[in-house]
Amino acid sequence: MVKTNVILACAGSGKRMGLGINKLLLRVGGLTVFERSLAPFLYNENISKIIITYAPSDLPYIKYFTTGKEKEIVLSEGGKTRFESIKKAMFYIDDDADIVMVHDGARPFVSQKIINNCIKKAKETGACAAAIPVTDTVKVVKDGKIIKSEDRSKYYFAQTPQAFKKQALIEAYNKADGDFTDDSSVYEKFVGPVDIVEGDSENIKITTPVDICRFIPRNYTVGVGFDTHKLVAGRKLILGGVEIEHYLGLEGHSDADVLLHAIMDSLLSACGERDIGVQFPDNDPRFKDISSIELLKRVYEKVAKKNFIVNNVSAVILAERPRLSPHIPKMCKKIADILNINESAVCISATTTEGMGSVGRQKAISVSATCSLIIY
């Protein structure tokens, strides 16, 4: 573990949002922007302390959202500028910290991958900043006219987090005066070059009202499916396209694969289609004893024709017997292959009902399934 202290910069006013309150206190989807920005650091094992800079008017809210957290959190009153706020927060850095990381509280979409990569790179080289390459053509403009085109390959957009070996960053800030828009600028001027760690285009800084739209799922739908089949003698037990040895099987017009039936209903629900009872009626001889794998392929074709791609599938099998755990990886692979997704995007679990109900009496098996689709 690399002992890391984080300074979370939250002392800004967010005037460009035009909200009348600090944008970090805006509640979106049940959580404030501040809570979302704080969470990744609370659950990272390398982070030993979080130092939060705050504006005095926001202190009651910041205290409320940080009380009772397991990780050590210190609140540091902010200054007139970002530079002053970070410098004041350095007073609280642990003596034995290896790395100091600074992150903008207005970047609520930072990933654990970026955090860990920054810590690793800072330990290796002394300093790093998350950044993404500029993708638009860069122009130099004077008096409203383009006077020069730049080679965009040498330009990057700096993000946070930015991470540094503790002593070098403290020394850089002690030498600096004035104002700097980020910490890598301070380090670069008074210590030396700063390495780049690959950032993420999703790791945006909430600055204007339109940025709030990033919290809203776009072109994204969710579906739910549920099915139950009786257990009877003289039938094969097939779940997820896998034949499982058991003295009872599932009763149905097709092969009665209750797992695939629930998954199919979730997929149809998510793309606005009627359920499998309508798509494949149990009085149609064409579907007599048909493999549900074949039916899943047909459902997937319907999904694809409506310009949806499958994001993930999750299902819970309720069965008292037999033990299904050894068969689940094979089920996941079969389903993933048909839906054209990674196996990691198919999550299947199995549980019992502790002897209760028709499932508990081994009279039936039930499945609840959900999925998410993205339209392209």
Q: Give the DSSP per-residue string, 257-289.
A: -HHHHHHHHHHHHHTT---HHHHS-TT-GGGTT
Per-residue confidence (pLDDT) for residue 162, from 0 to 100: 98
The residue among 204, 174, 179, 205 whose CA lies nearest residue 190 is: 174
Per-residue confidence (pLDDT) for residue 155, from 0 to 100: 94
- 3-class SS of residue 95: coil
Q: Model's pTM, two decimal places?
A: 0.66
CA distance 185 to 165: 15
CATH topology of domain 220-375: 60s Ribosomal Protein L30; Chain: A; (3.30.1330)
Per-residue confidence (pLDDT) for residue 213, from 0 to 100: 74
Per-residue confidence (pLDDT) for residue 1, from 0 to 100: 80
Per-residue confidence (pLDDT) for residue 295, from 0 to 100: 96
Query: What residues contact 84, with CB distance under 8 A and at least 6 apart?
Result: 78
CA distance 110 to 104: 10
Q: What secondary structure letter does DSSP report for 129? A: E
Per-residue confidence (pLDDT) for residue 29, from 0 to 100: 64
Weakly modelled stretches of the chain, pLDDT under 50: none
User: Which class is 4-215 in CATH?
Assistant: alpha beta
Tens-digit pLDDT profile for residues 333-356: 999 999 988 898 999 999 999 999
Per-residue confidence (pLDDT) for residue 216, from 0 to 100: 67
The residue among 218, 244, 247 whose CA lies nearest residue 233 is: 247
- 3-class SS of residue 351: strand
CA distance 40 to 44: 6
Q: Where in the chain are the domains?
A: 4-215, 220-375
Per-residue confidence (pLDDT) for residue 218, from 0 to 100: 65
Work out whether strand 99-104 and strand 4-10 pair parallel, antiparallel, or are unpaired.
parallel
Name the region of 133 (left: φ>0; alpha: ψ -120 to 50; beta: rest).
beta
Domain pair 4-215 / 220-375, same fold: no
H/E segment holding residue 160? strand 156-165
What φ, ψ does residue 343 adopt, rounded to 5°?
-60, -30
